[in-house]
Amino acid sequence: MAALRGPARRLLPGALAGLGLPPRRYRYKEKWAGTAPKISAIRLALQNFDMNYSVQFGSLWPSIRVSLLSEQKYGALVNNFSHADRVSRELELLNAVDFVYESQKAARHIQWDSPVERVRGEETAPQETHSEQLSVEQTQTSSLLSTSISPNIKCYTFSKGDVSRFPPARPDALGTLGYYLLDAASLLPVLALNVQPGDLVLDLCAAPGGKTLALLQTGCCRHLAANDISASRSNRLRRVLCSYIPKDISTDVRITSWDGRNWGELEGDTYNRVLVDVPCTTDRHSVMEEDNNVFSRMRLKERQMLPMLQMRLLLAGLLAARPGGEVVYSTCSLSQLQNEYVVERAVEVAETEYNVSVHVEDLSYFRSLFQDTFSFFADCRLGELVLPHLTANFGPTYFCKLRREE
């Protein structure tokens, strides 16, 4: 073969065929990948969000996207079971402000400054001016604030545009920590729950414990049931409460690891207030961390089933509430499929399958009360949604309040 020259070389394939040998058509074999190329969970999350949220939020999405990928802002929830006054003074020295108190103060200022509504005769009632209408709306808003949010919660944040960080909390002489660092927007569902003295309260998906701790700060829970289906997360919840709550108070808390979807059957028609902070795509975590990322390929089916799981958990919360009781549903996702659509479906199923009527409450006053701290989405059909924004990089947090009809 090596001795072939000239024309004989050009006839090599035919010559090989004549010798009974297969022609050599390719210098290299074609190879096909046995598996799909590896794409990180973070990249998959961003691809999913770009495809869906660019449609949902339009021109707002680029700003939200940048904020999700930027450092998150935190708030310091003051522990009322520690030296709360001393802790508050220390936080104020850092130029942080209690956003709940500041909102209450602003609402009271509106109420004091607004004119008293005049009693008008039927024949001589003048046309109400726009400024008077605005004053009446502001007065209604301030009165709603005083009667419709959970009391005694103090949370310090830095002002918009200030990216300062809080130092880690220090224990007092008894080993109790002075404050708990969390996304301040995650307190809004607890404030919306409007816990009142003597209430029986259920936190259906309680771990890791920030909202449970906030509920205890109100001092209003006659009994608090804190549940999470994961035993390891329930243990984490126990550790959080041990670091912040005295033993005599922790006896009023029952921690369980039951399947929350069955709570309506276990303790139906029982609770005055129910918080349903469901598992979700945890959008900020999904674009920042590979560990425990729901967009991992191995968790595809789990992610696809999230809306069904969320609906069943909310339905269980509605059934666990007594008639006249209030339920707050919340997520840390921007997705309509996990937010408004879940609420609509749960309300429909409660009425058609369980003959339970549910009223979705208006929380639009939260937007005006806390606009100096958070950036709200103006076009939310049900409930309220806090959008991440570079000047106020909290959230995302969605929350919706429902009342079970008597």
pLDDT digits (tens, 9 = 90+) for 67-121: 999 999 999 999 999 999 999 999 999 999 999 999 888 777 655 454 443 333 4
Among candidate residues 205, 332, 380, 400, the one labeled active-site is 332
pLDDT of res. 30:
59
Q: Is 181 a residue whose pLDDT tops 70?
A: yes
pLDDT of res. 70:
96
Stated pTM of the model: 0.84
Give the separation between CA 341 and CA 379, rounded to whole angstroms.
14
Give the separation between CA 159 and CA 245, rounded to whole angstroms.
29
Average pLDDT over residues 161-184: 94
Average pLDDT over residues 200-223: 96
Q: Is 27 a residue whose pLDDT tops 50?
A: yes
The one-character DSSP state at 64 is: H
pLDDT of res. 144:
52
Q: Beta strand pairing status for 253-256 and 221-227?
A: parallel
**Widest CA span of the chain, in angstroms?**
121
pLDDT 10s digits, 333-386: 999 999 999 999 999 999 999 999 999 999 999 998 999 999 999 999 999 999
Q: How confident is the model at residue 136 (pLDDT cuts 50, 70, 90)?
A: very low
pLDDT of res. 118:
36
More confident residue, 13 or 311: 311
CA distances to 59, 67, 194, 218, 393 from 397, rounded to whole Å, are: 20, 14, 18, 21, 11
Q: How confident is the model at residue 125 (pLDDT cuts 50, 70, 90)?
A: very low
Structure tokens at 232: 């390891």
- Residue 41's Cβ-count burial label (10 Å; 0-12, 13-18, 19+) is buried
Q: How confident is the model at residue 33 (pLDDT cuts 50, 70, 90)?
A: low
The percent of residues above 70 in pLDDT, for the chain, comes to 81
Average pLDDT over residues 223-232: 95
pLDDT of res. 106:
77
Exposure string of 299-333, with b = 16+ CB inside 10 Å and e = fewer, is: eeeebeebbebbbbbbbbbbbbbeeebbbbbbbbb
Q: Name residue 134's amino acid.
A: L
pLDDT of res. 37:
65
Q: Is 255 a residue whose pLDDT tops 90?
A: yes
Is 400 among the residues known to form the active site? no
pLDDT 10s digits, 43-64: 999 999 999 999 999 999 999 9
